[in-house]
Amino acid sequence: GQNIDQPTEMTATEGAIVQINCTYQTSGFNGLFWYQQHAGEAPTFLSYNVLDGLEEKGRFSSFLSRSKGYSYLLLKELQMKDSASYLCAVKDSNYQLIWGAGTKLIIKP
């Protein structure tokens, strides 16, 4: 079967750095997405990786290793507004998007 694993919840301190991991087992791979979802709101697109390596976008970076079936989202200089759920999603060989359950990130002052 197809599976996306993320930690359920993480806690970090304002101003710090946090890394949210995502591992996947899917039938094929055509890209990995990270989305941010604040409580009660719809997801917003953060990043897309299809090749191995690190993609940096401001305070957020996303890393992919296809051989390991692994990605992480790195958030730097954490702000209180970064408190949200972070969803990892993988596009499989049929271009179907497989969603992880999300990681709830709690930022403490």
Partner 1 sequence: GAVVSQHPSWVICKSGTSVKIECRSLDFQATTMFWYRQFPKQSLMLMATSNEGSKATYEQGVEKDKFLINHASLTLSTLTVTSAHPEDSSFYICSQTGTGGADTQYFGPGTRLTVL
- Chain residues that interact with partner 1, rule: CB under 8 A: 31, 33, 40-45, 48, 50, 87, 91, 95-97, 99-102
Q: Which is nearer to partner 1, 38 or 108 (CB)?
A: 38
Q: Which is nearer to partner 1, 16 or 101 (CB)?
A: 101
β-pair partners for 35: 45, 87
Is 34 in contact with 88 (CB distance < 8 Å)? yes
What's the min distance (Å) between Cβ of 102 and partner 1?
6
- With 0-12 CB in 10 A as exposed, 13-18 as middle and 19+ as buried, what is 42? exposed
What's the min distance (Å) between Cβ of 17 and partner 1?
25
Q: Which is nearer to partner 1, 36 or 61 (CB)?
A: 36
Phi-psi region of 98 (alpha: psi -120 to 50; beta: other; left: phi over 0): beta
Q: Which is nearer to partner 1, 42 or 80 (CB)?
A: 42
What's the min distance (Å) between Cβ of 44 and partner 1?
7
Other beta carbons within 10 angstroms of residue 50's beta carbon come to 13
